[in-house]
Structure 1
């Protein structure tokens, strides 16, 4: 069954094995290093870990790509937010003038991007506002949950399925503007209960003011309830061009 898919998967598995054997993890982030260490200590072979990472990669890309799309959408569709993000990131850019051709080299130090507090706040708010998907939780002890006039006895060992959208739009937690995209929500120093925020995607209900009038929300594809982050329902066509004043710029990045 599915011979082409099997061949493709095996090619990815071999590539992952070569990646491990060549020491690729030494230059990776903490996440793949931690996963490899835990799985290896659990007795898994390098080949089995490579297969597990193939599956993990599907989940990672399937959620990260839509999340990135909505962050870009929410930043670029609001002129005020875009201006603040650009101003903040500008502090991480150094300029060098190339000789002879009038070309500038701009270097963005990505190691400092964690200092971009407003950008991080916007990302968190996008993930909160567009929350979809569900999250399973294992009940560790018997508990009684009260809701209005009802009580529910949940036994130890049960599995609860949490609706992320309901959690992220609860006015008792997020205030009366819970159903509104508010970019400053996470930058005002207020703290929400740690269990109230699950950084996932969601369904927009309003179109923000944009750089050139009003952007029409493409909606979200709800056909796959297993996905945590949902892609746009419609294609979003854009024209990509250099910003005015950056036509003779070459970008470099420091990781």
Structure 2
């Protein structure tokens, strides 16, 4: 249902007889609206997260109807899912399809972020993933760099001549495509088109980070930067770390053949796969029957992310 809705957002935005022009997506949206209405009528928001309750409270106090609140909450779903899900998928794909990188990240997590108590309980510390797993974090940013298809928009306030060649007229709109900037050789070097899991680890120790930051648009471009980038990074890396450590994951088709992407998912900065990518996930023998937990020890709460 959500996939149909997401893949037809452009038609829904046109809003021309959507029950005819994109019936499946329209029905999916209406089903989501009714589900949210039932959720609020059952007082589900009173025992939900602070985010869910605060959004309901602000809209309700502003005079929004229950149906309007339900429709607005669908947009929250787009924000939560449209980028985090494909980002998680492509990070897993980029790691699992490279055996040496997979082994290195597994070792990194084992040594730096995993503890075992006297009862055998395995605890993964998300703060240690943030601060002590540089290869995993670098790989995540490299996945974003090589796969982002977002575009940044700016309005030109005065005539501007770039490089003595291109005149940007006042009042015009400038579209800055992330793929072109993220893979620019003058910023990233001759291997800009390649996936380098250590690229951002190297940058962290360089003195000229600023030039790299201006060439990385996956989180947006200042002053319009993804406000939830640290939260999203945390949930993505936590899930990826657990999957990589606990399970042997292999493609059913026998090889990691990159799937086609869904170009219709206009809300996604990283286009999701157009079709299901089937894998087998088998729990590793040494972990069978063991209890797993996650924790977050106090820390600075942010990741060493590069932003434009």
State the TM-score bracket (shorter-chain normalisation): 0.7 to 0.9
Q: 1:78-97 alignment to 2 at 5 Å?
A: 78-90=98-110, 91-97=112-118
Residue 229 (1) aligns with residue 281 (2): no
Q: Give the whole-Å Cα distance in 2 for the aligned partners of 1:199 and 1:222.
A: 17
Asked whether the 8 Å contact 1:136–1:161 carries over to 2, the reply is: yes
- CA change 1:225–1:21 in 2 (3 A) is closer
Match in the other structure for 1:205? none
Match in the other structure for 1:154? 169
Q: Give the whole-Å Cα distance in 2 for the aligned partners of 1:15 and 1:142.
A: 52
Q: Give the RMSD, CA atoms, in angstroms.
A: 3.5
Q: TM-score, normalised by structure 2?
A: 0.62
Q: Secondary structure at the match of 1:167?
A: helix
Q: Secondary structure at the match of 1:249?
A: coil
Q: Deviations over 1:215-244 (max 9, x none)?
A: 322232334455321112343211110124
Match in the other structure for 1:144? 161
Match in the other structure for 2:123? 107
Q: Secondary structure at the match of 1:245?
A: helix
Match in the other structure for 2:187? 173
- From 24, 35, 40, the counterpart of 2:49: 24
Deviation for aligned residue 1:57: 1.8
Match in the other structure for 2:36? 12
Match in the other structure for 1:52? 72
Count of residues in Structure 1 that have an aligned counterpart in Structure 2: 230
Match in the other structure for 2:228? none
Deviation for aligned residue 1:167: 0.9
Asked whether the 8 Å contact 1:79–1:211 carries over to 2, the reply is: no
Q: Deviations over 1:6-57 (max 9, x none)?
A: 24314325647956655732xx6xxx89x95xx959x955766664342132
Structure with the larger helix share: 2
Q: Give the whole-Å Cα distance in 1 for the aligned partners of 2:268 and 2:291.
A: 37
Q: 1:203-242 alignment to 2 at 5 Å?
A: 215-225=256-266, 227-242=268-283
Gaps of 5+ in 1: 99-103, 201-209
